[in-house]
Amino acid sequence: MPDALISRASTAREVAEAAEAVRTAGREASAVLADPAFAASLLRSPRTGGPAVRAVARALTEREGLAQVPEPERGWRPLVWAGRAAAWLARRTGRRGLATEVAVSSLKLRVALCAASHPELRENPAVRALLDAVADDDRPRAAGVLARPVRDHGTGDALAVLAPAHAVVRAWRQLLDGGPGARRDAWSVVTGRPGARRDAWSVVTGRPHPARRRRWRWLPASRVRRVPADPALTTGGRSGPLPGGLETLEVLGADGRIVVRRITSGRDGVERYVVLLPDRPAGAAAGLHDLAAAAGAAGRPGSAYTRAAYRALGHVLPEDAEVALIGHGAGGVAAVDLAGMPEANDAWQLTHVVAVGAPVALVLPYDPRTQVITLVNEHDVVPRLGGDGLLPAPADWVEIRWTDPSYTFPLSHSLAAYVQNLDRLVPEERDRVDALLADYTGAVAETAVFRLFDR
């Protein structure tokens, strides 16, 4: 990345950190005002407590301070509810706090950074319209640009600018117009720190809380159905967990089936499981928001794909089984989401997740021991839909990236392109992933195929 872009990216990061610091200060001030102990001390000493309350309230609400309505997350429940109602009313009337204003500035800087990384595309009609909408603070118009059919964006290279901007504009709208859950997701994009689904026990010990362990709850089977395995899914194939898994994903296609393989490890004879999760079709003329929805980059966690896959695995995986998840596109998102589910981690040991061409930039596994591996072709638009490339991956992830200009989108996202890239351009990285998955190399003892249904 050129030095000028590195400087801009650093500026955007620093502004985001400032927004998070202001947000934290506002939360702490709100919590102080709603703390019953603070109210009790005020009653005991009103002469000194009154000025303290006024000072905290002024620092929190006045424009010279944090300029936000008190919205405590903890404290005396009536005050918490009153604060939430007041904050909702303030947002409805267009009032923004300082933290939100600074966060929006960071997001706008990131949209400009998307365009700055490809200066030759600034005059592309779609890119120009997006930049104008952001400059005018027009969120609906910016979202409308990204909602246009992909074929209307001009050159395929324009998608390199528009795809990462999709996640940023979506966060911008969620931050100002969304509900509490949407705002939490938006702040994950602002800060670049995924919402870790861990409790204090798991953070300290590195293991799920023992009280959370529970047996599989059988759910209605109408969401999943076990179907006969095609001969191509059970015989032959390439050696190695990654090449063999990608070959099977190619055979599966995007017709709603997933594969679960029981492997007898050649290293220690232990039976382990490999779960193969394919992509979903997005449609030739879909807009970026449709591509994001199809790839699973929008509306997470708990997508229909993830929930159905979770149910399917419960039919075949024994408790405490060691499992590796390999997914392409939406399947990669489902794999990382499964690794982030406390319920899945309570039932099985999810040791490895391999996400191929998937927008997984803002998800962390529940168990910190889970090894996440991402494979990304820089000319593939889909990984950028989740903000990939704007923020660094977590330090303990294995991130493998390469550039292959011989394919443009959507061919650059196809499994065939990824298989060719791994074989011809980065065979050493393919072998590296196979080495990480060495425990899953061995004879296939059983192949189970499930068809998933959204409803």
Map out the domains of the chain as residue ranges.
Answer: 1-192, 207-452
Of 123, 124, 120, 146, whose CA–CA distance to 133 is shortest?
A: 146
pLDDT at 56 over 80: no
CA–CA dist 409, 319 (Å, integer)? 41
pLDDT at 376 over 80: yes
Peptide bond into 410 cis (omega under 30): yes
pLDDT at 297 over 70: no
Single pTM value for the model? 0.72
Q: Which carries the bigger pLDDT value, residue 289 or residue 449?
A: 449
> Both tokens of residue 92?
């409805």
CA 1 to chain centre: 24
CA–CA dist 352, 308 (Å, integer)? 20
> Both tokens of residue 91?
């947002």
CA 136 to chain centre: 28
pLDDT at 436 over 90: yes
The answer to whether 347 touches 331, Cβ cutoff 8 Å, is no
pLDDT at 165 over 70: yes
Per-residue model confidence as pLDDT tens digits over 126-162? 778 888 888 888 888 887 877 766 555 555 566 666 7
CA–CA dist 349, 371 (Å, integer)? 11
pLDDT at 198 over 70: no
pLDDT at 39 over 60: yes
Phi, psi of 31 (to 5 degrees): -65, -35
The helix-helix angle for 180-191 and 158-177 (nearest 10°) equals: 130
Q: What is the mean pLDDT of the chain?
A: 77
Span 207-452 CATH architecture? 3-Layer(aba) Sandwich (3.40)
- Report the pLDDT averaged over residues 364-391: 80
pLDDT at 207 over 70: no
